[in-house]
């Protein structure tokens, strides 16, 4: 029979069952220990030693551990590594455990400290400063698929922000891509869930519960005052709150009243578009090289988080965009105000996150200090901005939210020392003068310390031992120590000293006088700590009571920071305020790609600005020209300019008239995306299909060499058909870059399509790329010249030239790839004709009485139908 597991192992296994897939941090004294597979995973992720401890089922138990005092750093790495962690703390002291065991009539030697999981630490439920990135929001998202709609609830518990939305199932991916959540939870029966979704019971996602919980949390009788929430939204809210409850073991973090996100309020972008425009992350996943890295001049982490949100979800409402632009303008025209403001902002602590920790019960005296300092900086900013004449409405609303905290700031200023510590158990954070009783206790222990110093001098004198010292450690408390050779003197019966410990080179003693002073220190210290703790609780209570107003101040500071930072960026890069219009145009004068421009500037090169003038009657530009000529750059810069403008930013152009778009699509031909798992051409086509089904007349589409991921004929045919469909059916603004010269023939049939190319010149046999956009089709492709530029060996180039000459000769004789395409009817016409033909066939089939036909007649009929189908 297998050995019974030890009581400790039984306790561990029970907790581990509760922890489920989360790694169990099992508290043992000053360490969190991990066992079994948890230990193996943690040892690998953390790169720490894996050992063993005891046996289980006849096998050694793998174990590793991390010290409690440095656990945060290890937690951060585990969370980054995709793990979740359950923290099992000791819920009684070893002394209590012994007492309890005695009371239970069991042998004290069997005493086992009871433990409980106090919290699950997961990527989406972090509040600790050390575990969060200051410039990135940390979102937890719950998804509730219900019949034909999906509810989405998102919250950032580090600041309490919460929003609810619903969308059709086919828009879910785009919504999730916009949110960029750290953790997603969904019900167990969600069929399309991605692999990393945390699965929770279906009954957690009941809309009635969502409503009840939200009402309970915010102490309101109805949600009507907060907004219009659909059933899927409430179901998702229920799932989110249930998960937070689970992670916090019943203690809910900070949640602000939810905001309902309207579906048409934002410029919609799907995941592929976000990736290809490199909005928050470059293709390699890092921030460097992304749009945000190039735009972000925010002075605070909260501002940077707000900017990331703005760029992820640009607006689709003219009024709201104009409000933001007016705020940026206000700071753009006043560099002095901007500089002063930004200097103050740089000093302002992250009060949103400090508040999140305090409300979640994980706050420290330092967080209280941050609230104090942040709120008083907010007050300064209010005075600074309030003095400006003609404050734009958005800024006016923001500065209103900055005030109203005078009493709290005053109280915190009186109560706290200048830089309160993160650790509260040691005390020392309440300012002197705030509480006289506390001051008296401190004085007592201060006096006792002086008395101990006096005792030391006295004992040195009395014993004639100048090396005598009074020391302190955790185990013995205060003690007298002399080098071993003087020990005997103090050992004497009547010396007044009692022996405590003999060390290698020293002997330690106690004395009645020292004991008395030490007790006074201990007692006063304990009372002082208790007093500080009570003040801490009271101050936290006061902050928590003001949480919504403080959160509003934090949000206002972030918005002001974003406006000033965008103004700073505009001034730095000579950007201009876009004119926003409610029509389908995009007129950019001397537009630039902000990221490429910045990269070129670093290398001492100049970016060539280009115009773009899309209008209703010239809405599709087909752009050709040599490789490396700047086609992709041009496409993207216009998409980015639109995105920036709708996010409320100035844009990298001399002037811009931007017609509001409802959706933005960006697609890159498959060859650029080799890293993906799926067949690249398949991906390209799936993504193109999404555009064709979702774009509207108000959308803006950029297509970069779509079709090149397959054979030349197929690719060109697809590119041709896609351009026609965009022109004839979607009728949206579109820039289409292609190497297929043949597509230029489309200009003959599509009246709102025009041809453009990036210019290049051959000079003394070498290719010079001008990066300049010009009207008209590209005259040739310069592929071989680019290859030469890239260092392909001359013999290979020579051979390629010979092949090319042959091919071109063939083309001249046969009319080339697109021979015969000239009389091809347009896409819409062909589609209609196709439909008609299919209907004629259907009629003929419908008229057939199959039972009445002989086998011979059936065969004849089949031949007839087939020849009918073949006619066009
Ligand atoms: N307007 C510009 N001014 C200066 N340099 C530019 C400009 N546009 C592009 N470049 C430079 O040319 C390089 C290639 O640009 P881009 O990738 O846009 O070319 P492309 O025509 O799309 O090439 P390919 O057809 O090979 O994909 C960029 O990395 C940049 O360094």
Contact 416, 431 (CB under 8 A): yes
Continuous segment of H or E residues that includes residue 787? helix 783-789
Contact 291, 307 (CB under 8 A): no
What pLDDT is attached to residue 813?
A: 67
Q: Whose CA is nearest to atom 14 of ligand 1?
A: 628
Give the ligand 1 atom nearest the CA of 758. 21
Which residue has the least CA distance to atom 26 on ligand 1?
A: 627
605 and 745 both lie in a single domain: yes
Burial class (CB in 10 A: 0-12, 13-18, 19+), 232: buried
* CA of residue 629 to ligand 1 center, whole Å: 5
625 annotated ligand binder: yes
The residue whose C-alpha atom lies closest to atom 18 belonging to ligand 1 is 630
Residue 244: give its domain's CATH number.
3.30.420.110
Spatial distance between the Cα atoms of 199 and 184, rounded to a whole number of angstroms: 9
Give the pLDDT confidence of 69-89 residue by residue, as tens digits.
Answer: 889 889 989 998 889 999 999
Kindly tell me if the per-residue pLDDT of 446 is higher than 50.
Answer: yes
Hey, which of 170-184, 255-269, 552-566, 790-804 has the most confident mean pLDDT? 552-566
Q: How many Å apart are CA 498 and CA 493, to the nearest integer?
A: 9
Contacts of 813 (CB under 8 A, 6+ apart): none
Q: Are residues 637 and 760 in the same domain?
A: yes
Q: What percent of the chain has pLDDT over 70?
A: 93
Q: What spacing in Å lies between the alpha carbon of 792 and ligand 1's midpoint?
A: 19
Q: What is the mean pLDDT of residues 180-196?
A: 90
Mean pLDDT for all residues in the chain: 88
Closest atom, ligand 1, to C-alpha of 633: 18
The pLDDT score that the predictor gives to residue 675 is 46
Examine the domain organization and report whether 591 and 710 are in the same domain.
yes
Q: Could you give the 3-state DSSP secondary structure of residue 4?
A: coil
Six token digits for residue 679: 């067949």
Please give the pLDDT value at position 371.
Answer: 97
User: Which whole number is the average pLDDT over 202-215?
Assistant: 94
pLDDT band (50, 70, 90) for residue 309: very high
Residue pair 553/408 in contact (Cβ under 8 Å)? The answer is: no
The answer to whether the annotation marks 765 as part of a ligand binding site is: no
Average pLDDT over residues 803-822: 67
Residues 492 and 558 placed together within one structural domain of the fold: no
Residue of 632, 633, 639 to mutate, ligand 1, most atoms within 8 A of C-beta: 633
Cβ atoms 41, 21 nearer than 8 A: no
pLDDT digits (tens, 9 = 90+) for 321-353: 999 999 999 999 999 999 999 999 999 999 999
Q: Which of 277, 597, 771 should be mutated for ligand 1, with most atoms under 8 A from CB?
A: 771
Tokens of 822: 């000239």
CA-nearest residue for atom 16, ligand 1, is 630
Distance (Å, rounded) from C-alpha 586 to C-alpha 698? 11
In a domain, 283, yes or no: no
Q: Are residues 152 and 88 in the same domain?
A: no
Distance 657 CA to ligand 1 centre (A): 24
- Least confident piece of the model among 61-65, 189-193, 570-574: 189-193
**Token pair of 317 as six digits:** 């409402």
Indicate whether 781 and 702 sit together in one domain.
Answer: yes
**pLDDT for position 315:** 96
| Residue 588 near residue 612 (C-beta atoms within 8 A) | yes
Tell me how far the alpha carbon of residue 855 lies from the centroid of ligand 1, in angstroms. 65
**Ligand 1 atom 8 nearest Cα:** 630
Angle at alpha carbon of residue 357, lines to 353 and 361, rounded to 5°:
165
Q: Measured between alpha carbons, how far is 349 from 347 in angstroms, rounded to an integer?
A: 6
Is residue 294 situated within a structural domain? no
Q: Say whether both 719 and 765 belong to one domain.
A: yes
d(CA 849, CA 318): 62
Residue 839 belongs to domain spanning: 828-870
Report H helices in 416-511: 436-463, 487-491
Q: With bands split at pLDDT 50, 70 and 90, how would you rate the model's confidence at 856?
A: confident
Interval between CA 782 and ligand 1 midpoint (Å): 14
Burial class (CB in 10 A: 0-12, 13-18, 19+), 20: exposed
Q: Which atom, in ligand 1's list, is nearest to the CA of 737?
A: 22
User: How far is 525 from 115, CA to CA, in rounded Å?
Assistant: 29
Domain membership of residue 415 (yes or no) is no
Mean predicted confidence (pLDDT) in 855-861: 82
Q: What is the DSSP letter of 728?
A: I
Q: Phi first, then psi: what are they for 528, rounded to 5°?
A: -65, -45
pLDDT (tens digit per residue) in 639-689:
999 999 999 999 999 999 999 999 999 987 655 444 444 556 666 777 777
In terms of C-beta density within 10 A (0-12 exposed, 13-18 middle, 19 or more buried), how is residue 854 classed?
A: exposed
Lowest mean pLDDT among 421-435, 614-628, 649-663, 857-871: 857-871
Distance from the CA of 384 to the center of ligand 1, in angstroms? 45
Among 263, 286, 303, give the residue marking a domain's end.
Answer: 263
Residue ID of nearest Cα to ligand 1 atom 5: 607
786 CA closest ligand 1 atom index: 26
Distance CA 600, CA 317 (A): 34
Distance CA 533, CA 541 (A): 12
Residue 171 is assigned to a structural domain of this protein:
yes
Find where tokens 């025009």 sit: 754
Pocket test for ligand 1, best of 600, 609, 629 (most atoms within 8 A of CB): 629
Task: Give this prediction's pTM.
Answer: 0.82
Ligand 1 pocket test: pick from 628, 636, 741, 759 the residue with the most ligand atoms within 8 Å of its Cβ: 628
Pocket mutation for ligand 1, best pick of 600, 607, 632 (most atoms within 8 Å of C-beta): 632
Residues in contact with ligand 1 by the CB-under-6-Å rule are 596, 600, 607-608, 610, 627-633, 758, 771
Across 8-17, 437-446, 718-727, the highest mean pLDDT is recorded for 8-17
R_g of the chain, CA atoms, integer Å: 36
Tell me how far the alpha carbon of residue 636 lies from the centroid of ligand 1, in angstroms. 11
Residue 16: C-alpha distances to residues 20, 33, 115, 563, 812 (Å): 6, 12, 12, 49, 76
Quick one: which atom of ligand 1 is closest to the CA of 772?
A: 1
Of the residues 596, 639, 757, 767, which should be mutated to test ligand 1's pocket, given the most ligand atoms within 8 Å of the CB? 596
Dist. CA 638–CA 628, nearest whole Å: 18
User: Does the annotation place 364 within a ligand binding site?
Assistant: no
Q: Which of 91, 121, 151 is the last residue of a domain?
A: 121
In terms of domains, do 214 and 235 share one?
Answer: yes
Ligand 1 centre distance from Cα of residue 593 (Å): 10
Q: How far apart are CA 177 and CA 269, in angstroms?
A: 9
| Distance from the alpha carbon of residue 755 to the mean position of ligand 1, in angstroms | 18
Mind giving me the DSSP string for 201-265? Answer: -GGGG-HHHHHHHHHHHHT-S-STTT----HHHHHHHHHHHHHHHHHTTT-----PPPEEPPTTS
pLDDT higher than 90, residue 436: yes
The SS3 of residue 849 is coil
The first and second tokens of residue 720, run together, are 């041709």
Can you name the residues that pair with 86 across neighbouring β-strands? Answer: 24, 120
631 CA from centroid of ligand 1 (Å): 6
Q: Are residues 207 and 66 in the same domain?
A: no
**165 CA to middle of ligand 1, Å?**
39
Residue 91 and residue 375: Cα distance in Å, rounded?
37
Known binding residue 604? Answer is: no
Predicted confidence (pLDDT) at residue 94 exceeds the cutoff of 70: yes
Two tokens, residue 407: 């009493």
pLDDT at 680: 64
What atom in ligand 1 is closest to the CA of residue 608? Answer: 3
In a domain, 518, yes or no: no
Work out which ligand 1 atom sits closest to the CA atom of 599: 31
- What is the count of structural domains for the chain? 6
Q: Which residue, among 513, 479, 461, has the nearest Cα to 469 in the 3D structure?
A: 479
The reply to whether 531 falls in a domain is: no
The answer for residues whose C-beta is within 8 angstroms of residue 869's C-beta and 6 or more apart is 837, 841
Q: Show the 3-state SS of 592-645.
A: CCHHHHHHHHHCCCCCCCEEEEEECCECEEEEECCCCCCHHHHHHHHHHHHHHH
Q: Does the annotation list 631 as a binding residue?
A: yes
In a domain, 419, yes or no: no
Angle between helices 547-573 and 335-347 (to 10 degrees): 130
- Nearest atom within ligand 1 for CA of residue 606: 4
Query: Would the annotation count 286 as a binding residue?
Result: no
Ligand 1, atom 24: nearest CA belongs to which residue? Answer: 627
Q: What is the mean pLDDT of residues 703-720?
A: 77
**Domain containing 72 — which CATH number?**
3.40.1170.10
In tens, the pLDDT along 822-850 reads: 555 555 555 555 556 667 777 777 777 77
Query: What ipTM does the predicted assembly reach?
Result: 0.96
Closest atom of ligand 1 relative to the 739 alpha carbon: 25
Higher pLDDT among residues 272 and 365, named by residue: 365
Higher local confidence (pLDDT), 65 or 829: 65
The answer to whether the beta carbons of residues 496 and 480 sit under 8 Å apart is no
List the Cα angle 234/239/241 in 5-degree steps.
90
Alpha carbon separation from 96 to 677, 796, 815 (Å, rounded): 57, 84, 94
Whether residue 712 sits in one domain with residue 611: yes
Is 528 among the domain residues?
A: no
Q: What is the CATH number of the domain that holds 694?
A: 3.40.50.300
Beta partners for 587?
A: 613, 657
Reported confidence tier of residue 816, pLDDT bands at 50, 70, 90? low
User: Residue 635: is its pLDDT beyond 90?
Assistant: yes
Query: Which is more confident, 8 or 716?
Result: 8
Which of 248, 263, 278 lies at the terminal end of a domain, its last residue? 263
Compute, in angstroms, the gap from residue 303 CA to the centroid of ligand 1.
32
One domain, residues 115 and 139: no
What is the pLDDT confidence band of residue 711, given thresholds at 50, 70 and 90? low
Specify the range with the lowest mean pLDDT, choosing from 144-148, 469-473, 825-829.
825-829
Cα dihedral 600, 602, 603, 604 sign: positive
**From the centroid of its chain, how far is CA 694?**
26
Does the annotation flag 781 for ligand binding?
Answer: no
Percent of the chain past pLDDT 90, that is, above it, reads 54
Q: Check whether residue 47 and residue 145 sit in a common domain.
A: no
- What CA–CA distances, in Å, run from 753 to 124, 694, 699, 731? 47, 21, 16, 10
Average pLDDT over residues 353-369: 93
* Residue 60 known to bind ligand: no
**C-alpha span between 774 and 557 (Å, rounded):** 45
């Amino acid at each position: 029979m297998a050995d019974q597991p030890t009581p400790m192992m039984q306790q561990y296994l029970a907790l581990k069952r509760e922890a489920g897939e989360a790694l169990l941090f099992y508290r043992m004294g000053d360490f969190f220990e991990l066992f079994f597979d948890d230990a193996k995973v943690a040892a690998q992720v953390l790169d720490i030693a894996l050992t063993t401890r005891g046996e289980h089922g006849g096998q050694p138990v793998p174990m590793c551990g991390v010290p409690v005092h440095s656990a945060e750093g290890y937690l951060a790495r585990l969370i980054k590594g995709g793990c979740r962690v359950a923290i099992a703390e000791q819920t009684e002291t070893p002394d209590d455990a012994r007492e309890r065991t005695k009371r239970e009539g069991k042998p004290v030697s069997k005493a086992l400290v009871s433990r409980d999981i106090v919290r699950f630490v997961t990527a989406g439920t972090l509040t600790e400063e050390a575990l969060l990135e200051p410039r990135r929001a940390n979102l937890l998202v719950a998804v509730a698929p219900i019949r034909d709609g999906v509810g989405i609830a998102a919250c950032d518990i580090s600041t309490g922000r919460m929003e609810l939305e619903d969308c059709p199932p086919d828009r879910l991916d785009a919504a999730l891509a916009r949110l960029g959540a750290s953790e997603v939870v969904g019900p167990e029966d969600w069929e399309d869930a991605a692999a990393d979704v945390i699965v929770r019971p279906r009954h957690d996602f009941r809309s009635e519960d969502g409503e009840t919980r939200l009402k309970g949390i915010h102490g309101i009788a109805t949600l009507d005052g907060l907004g219009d929430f659909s059933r899927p939204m409430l179901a998702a809210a229920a799932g989110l709150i249930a998960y937070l409850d689970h992670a916090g073991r019943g203690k809910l973090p900070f949640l602000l009243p939810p905001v309902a996100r309207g579906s048409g309020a934002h410029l919609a972008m799907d995941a592929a578009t976000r990736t290809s425009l490199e909005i928050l992350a470059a293709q390699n996943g890092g921030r460097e090289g992304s749009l945000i890295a190039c735009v972000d001049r925010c002075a605070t982490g909260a501002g940077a988080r707000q900017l990331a949100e703005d760029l992820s979800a640009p607006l689709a409402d003219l009024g709201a965009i104009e409000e933001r632009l007016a705020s940026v303008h206000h700071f753009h025209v006043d560099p002095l105000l901007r500089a002063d403001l930004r200097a103050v902002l740089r000093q302002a602590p992250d009060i949103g996150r400090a508040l999140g920790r305090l409300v979640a019960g994980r706050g420290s005296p330092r967080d209280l200090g941050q609230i104090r300092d942040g709120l008083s900086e907010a007050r300064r900013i209010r005075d600074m901005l309030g003095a400006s004449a003609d404050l734009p409405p958005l800024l006016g609303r923001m500065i209103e939210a900055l005030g109203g905290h005078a009493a709290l700031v005053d109280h915190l200023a009186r109560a706290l020392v200048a830089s309160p510590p993160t650790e509260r158990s040691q005390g020392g954070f309440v300012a002197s003068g705030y509480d006289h009783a506390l001051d008296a206790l401190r004085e007592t222990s201060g006096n006792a310390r002086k008395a101990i110093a006096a005792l030391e001098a006295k004992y040195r004198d009395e014993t004639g031992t100048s090396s005598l010292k009074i020391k302190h450690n955790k185990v013995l408390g205060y003690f007298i120590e002399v080098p071993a050779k003087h020990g005997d003197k103090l050992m004497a019966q009547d010396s007044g000293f009692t022996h405590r410990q003999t060390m290698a080179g020293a002997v330690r003693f106690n004395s009645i006088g020292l004991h008395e002073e030490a007790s006074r220190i201990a007692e006063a210290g304990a009372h002082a700590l208790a007093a500080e703790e009570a003040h801490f609780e009271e101050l936290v209570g006061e902050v928590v009571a003001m949480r919504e107003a403080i959160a509003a101040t934090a949000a206002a500071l972030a918005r002001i920071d974003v406006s000033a930072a965008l103004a700073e960026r505009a001034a730095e890069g000579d950007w201009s305020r876009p004119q926003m219009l409610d029509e389908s145009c995009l007129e950019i004068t001397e537009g630039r790609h902000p990221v490429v421009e910045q990269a070129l500037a670093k290398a001492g090169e100049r970016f060539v600005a280009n115009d773009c003038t899309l209008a209703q009657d010239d809405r599709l530009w087909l752009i050709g020209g040599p490789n490396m000529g700047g086609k992709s750059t041009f496409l993207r810069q216009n998409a980015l300019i639109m995105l920036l403008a709708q996010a409320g930013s100035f844009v990298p152009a001399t002037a811009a008239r931007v017609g509001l778009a409802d959706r933005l699509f960006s697609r890159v031909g498959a060859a650029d995306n080799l890293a993906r798992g799926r067949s690249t051409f398949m991906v390209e086509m799936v993504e193109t299909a999404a555009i064709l089904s979702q774009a509207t007349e108000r959308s803006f589409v950029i297509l970069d060499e779509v079709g090149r991921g397959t054979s030349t004929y197929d690719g060109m045919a697809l590119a041709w058909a896609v351009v026609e469909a965009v022109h004839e059916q979607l009728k949206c603004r579109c820039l289409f870059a292609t190497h297929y010269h043949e597509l230029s023939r489309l200009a003959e049939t599509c009246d709102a399509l025009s041809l453009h190319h990036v210019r290049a010149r051959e000079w003394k046999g070498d290719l010079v790329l001008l990066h300049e956009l010009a009207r008209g089709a590209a005259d040739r492709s310069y592929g071989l010249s680019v290859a030469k530029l890239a260092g392909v060996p001359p013999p290979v180039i020579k051979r390629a030239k010979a092949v090319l000459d042959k091919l071109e000769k063939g083309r001249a004789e046969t009319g080339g790839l697109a021979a015969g395409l000239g009389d091809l009817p347009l896409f819409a016409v062909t589609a209609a004709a196709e439909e008609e033909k299919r209907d004629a066939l259907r009629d003929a089939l419908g008229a057939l009485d199959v039972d009445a036909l002989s086998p011979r007649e059936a065969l004849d009929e089949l031949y007839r139908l087939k020849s009918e189908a073949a006619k066009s």
